[in-house]
A and B are shown apart, each in its own frame.
Chain A
Amino acid sequence: MSASKKTSVPQLRGRYLRQATPFCAGCGHGIFMNAFLRAADAVKLDFGRTVFVSGIGCGAWVPSPHFLADTLHVTHGRAIAFATGIKLTRPDLEVVVISGDGDLTTIGGNHLIHAARRNVPIKVFCLNNWLFGMTGGQVSATTPQGAITETTPAGNPHRSFDLVNLVRGAGAPYVARWPVARPQWLRRGIETALQEPGFAFVEVLSTCPTQYGRANRAQWAEKQATVPWAMLTWQEANCISRRKVGEEGAAGKIVVGEWREGEDA
Chain B
Amino acid sequence: MTKTYLVELDEHLCKGQSCAICQQTCPQGVFDVRDRPTPQGVWPLQAARPEDCIGCLKCELLCPELAISVTPAGGPVAEPGVPQAARPAITPDLGGWATIPSQLSAGVHFLSGNEACAEGALAAGCRFYGGYPITPSSELMVHMAHRLPDVGGAFVQMEDEIASLSAVIGASWAGVKSMTATSGPGFSLMMESLGYAVMTETPCVIVNMQRVGPSTGQASRPAQGDVMQARWGTHGGPEIIALAPWSVQEMYDLTIRAFNLAERFRVPVVVLADEVVAHLNETITVAPTVRHFNRARWPQDSPFGTEADDGVPPMPAFGEGARLLITGSTHDARGVRRTTDAHTQEQLVRRLANKLLAHHQEIDDWESHFTADAERLVVAYGSVARSALWAVQEARRQGLRVGFLRLKSLWPFPDDVIARHADGCQEVMVPEMNLGQVAREVERCVDVSVVCLSQTDGELIDPRRILRYLLEGRWER
Contacts and interface: CB of A to CB of B under 8 A. Distances in A.
Interface of A: 3-4, 7-17, 20-21, 23-31, 33-35, 37-38, 46-49, 51, 53, 64-65, 68-75, 78, 81-86, 88-90, 92-93, 110-111, 114, 118, 180, 183-184, 187, 225-226, 228-229, 232
Given A48-B321, A86-B171, A15 B83 contact: yes
Nearest to B15: A25
A9 B337 CA distance: 26
B460 interface: no
A124 B414 CA distance: 46
B85 A48 contact: yes
A21 B336 CA distance: 15
B168 interface: yes
B173 interface: yes
B259 to A, nearest CB: 16
Interface residues of B, number: 77
B156 interface: yes
Contacts of A64: 325, 327
B38 to A, nearest CB: 13
A70 B318 contact: yes
A72 B84 CA distance: 20
Q: List 7 A-B pairs, minimum CB-CB distance, nearest first.
A: A30-B64, A14-B81, A85-B170, A85-B167, A48-B85, A8-B78, A81-B163
B163 A111 contact: yes
Contacts of A16: 81
Most A CB atoms within 10 A — which of B17, B70, B84?
B84
Contacts, number: 236
B128 interface: yes
A84 B70 CA distance: 39
Interface string B420-447: 0000000000000000000000000000
B13 interface: yes
A10 B69 contact: yes
Contact of B169 (A82, A110, A184): A82
16 contacts: A9-B67, A15-B82, A26-B15, A26-B20, A31-B62, A71-B326, A74-B169, A81-B167, A85-B168, A89-B128, A89-B170, A110-B160, A110-B163, A111-B159, A226-B17, A226-B20
Given A70-B319, A75-B166, A84-B167, A21 B61 contact: no
A33 B64 contact: yes
Contact of B323 (A9, A31, A68): A68
Contact of A226 (B24, B82, B83, B318): B24
Given A65-B336, A89-B154, A11 B167 contact: no
Contacts of A53: 170
Interface stretch (B174-182, B396-404, B451-459): B174-182
A3 B55 contact: yes
